[in-house]
Amino acid sequence: MLHDPNRVYVFDTTLRDGEQVPGCQLTTPEKIEIAKELELLGVDIIEAGFPVSSPGDFNSVVEISKAVKNPTVCALTRANKGDIDAAIESLKYAKHPRIHTGIGSSDMHIKHKFNSTREEILERAVEAVKYAKRAVEDIEFYAEDAGRADVVYLAQMVEAVIAAGATVVNIPDTNGYCLPDQYGAKIKYLKENVKNIDKAIISVHCHNDLGLATANSIAGLQNGARQIEGTINGIGERAGNTSIEEVVMILKTHQVLGLHTQIDSKRFYELSQMIRTQMRMPVQPNKAIVGSNAFAHSSGIHQDGFLKMRENYEIIRPEDVGFPSATIVLTARSGRHALKFHLERLGYTLDKEELARTYNDFLTLADVKLDINDEDLHALMVYKLVKN
C-alpha cells in the first residue's frame, strides 16, 4: 500500500498525559470504556499508560491491549531498562504494540534534571531505543522539552535515535513555551537537516501553558510533522494538552492545508461528555468545538444574522461534531427576530405590533431573570392576554 503523505496520524494521550491531572484518575474498567470509544472515534494510537508507575497503570495497559484491535496501543517509559521491561510485558496482548521512550533534550533538563551532559544523554537515548527495539518493532522516541532545546543538538539526537530504530520521533513542547512560528521552524529544521528523517514520522506534542498548544500543533503539521498528540477536551498537566477535537476540526475546516485524519468527528461531543463525567473535570462553556456555548448565539446582531442564514455565524455545523443543535439563547441582548423565532417554535404567531409590545415585556423580564426559557415565554404570553 502506498503511504499517503497527507495523512495525519492521531495519537490520543487522554489516558496517560490527561489522566495525570489531579482528581482525574480512572479505574481500569473506566479506561477500557474510554479506549473503546477512542477506537470508534478512529484514533490511530492510544497511549494507555505508564506501566512502571503503578500496578494499576500496568494492568490498564494489559486490559486495554486486550480490549481494542485497530489502534496501536502505546506504553510510556523513561529511558531505562526497568521501565522498558515493564512496558514490554504490559503490551504482550496488544495487536499493534508501541513503546514510547525518551529523555530530556534541553540544556535545562540535561543539567538541572539529569545532572548530566549532552553526550551522556545522547548515549542513553540511543541505548533506550535499541533496548526497546529488541522486543517491539514500533518505537516512538520523545525528546522531552524539545521546545526549549538547542535545535542543532535536537537534530543530532533525532538522527541518532532513528538510526537506532525509532519509527516515530516526538518533539514535545513540554512546557508550552514556543510561539507557533518558532515551533514550526523547529520541525522544518529537523525535516531539512536530519539525514534519515524519511525513515520516521515526526510527531507534535504540545502543552497549553500560553494557550498555544493547538496553534503550535498546526504549525508543526504545516512544516512536515504527520502525527499529532493530544487529549479530548484538552485535559492534561497544568493548562493541559492540545485538544484533539480542535486540531481535527481545523484540518477539516481549512482543507487548503491538504491534510486529513481518519477521525469520525461526529463522535466528538458524546466522547467529550463521557470524559467530562468520568474524569470529573468540567468543560469550560466557551471551549472550542465541545463547550456548551460553542454553538449558542446570544447577541441580537448575531441571532438576526444566524436566522437569516446560519453560515453568517457558523463555520462548523454542530451536527459535524455530534453537538445536539445550535441554540438561540434569549437574554436582554437578544433582538425581536430571536424572540419571534422562539415564540413561533412554541406555537405563538404575533403580528408586528403585538411582537413589539411583547418584546418590551420580554426585555423587562430578561433584565431581571438574565436568561429566558420556554416556561418564561409561556408565562409572558399569559401575562399579555391578562394585560390586554
DSSP states of 193-240 as a string? H-TTGGGSEEEEEEB-TTS-HHHHHHHHHHTT--EEEEBGGG--STT-
Residues that bind Zn ion (CB under 5 A): 17
By CB under 6 A, name the one of 9, 11, 131, 142 that touches ligand KIV. Answer: 142
Whole-angstrom distance, CA of residue 323 vs CA of residue 318 = 5
Q: Is 205 in the site for ligand KIV (CB under 6 A)?
A: yes
Q: What residue 297 binds from ligand KIV, Zn ion, none (CB within 5 to 8 A, per partner kind)?
A: none
Given the complex with ligand KIV, which of 158 and 366 has the nearer CB atom? 158
Residue 175, C-beta contacts closer than 8 angstroms, at least 6 positions apart: 145, 147, 148, 207, 209
**Binding range to ligand KIV, per CB under 6 A, among 64-72, 80-88, 167-175, 187-195:** 167-175
- What does the alpha-carbon distance between residue 6 and residue 116 come to, in Å, rounded to a whole number? 39
* Separation of alpha carbons 184 and 22, rounded Å: 31
Q: How far is the CB of 103 from ligand KIV (least distance, A)?
A: 10
- Closest CB to ligand KIV among residues 92, 113: 113
Query: Which partner in Zn ion, ligand KIV, none is near 142 (CB below 5 to 8 A by kind)?
Result: ligand KIV
Q: Which helix (H) or strand (E) holds 39?
A: helix 28-41
In the complex, the smallest distance separating the C-beta of residue 275 from ligand KIV, rounded to whole angstroms, is 18
Three-state secondary structure call for residue 103: strand
Q: Which residue has the cell 518493532?
A: 137
Pick the closer one to ligand KIV by CB: 145 or 245. Answer: 145
Among 19, 57, 144, 245, binds ligand KIV (CB under 6 A): 144
Q: Smaller CB distance to Zn ion: residue 17 or 63? A: 17
- Total residues at the site for ligand KIV (CB under 6 A)? 8
C-beta of 225 vs 294, nearer to ligand KIV: 225
Lookup result for grid cell 502525527: 227
Binding track, positions 173-192, relative to ligand KIV; x by CB under 6 A? -x------------------
CA 300/CA 347 separation, integer angstroms: 22
Report how far residue 73's alpha carbon sits from residue 60's, in angstroms, rounded to the nearest whole number: 11
Hey, how many other C-beta atoms are within 10 angstroms of the C-beta on 217?
A: 29
Contacts of 22 (CB under 8 A, 6+ apart): none
Q: What is the per-residue binding string for ligand KIV in 100-129, x denoting contact by CB under 6 A?
A: ------------------------------
When the beta carbons of 146 and 380 are compared against ligand KIV, the nearer one is: 146
Residues that bind ligand KIV (CB under 6 A): 17, 142, 144, 170, 172, 174, 205, 207
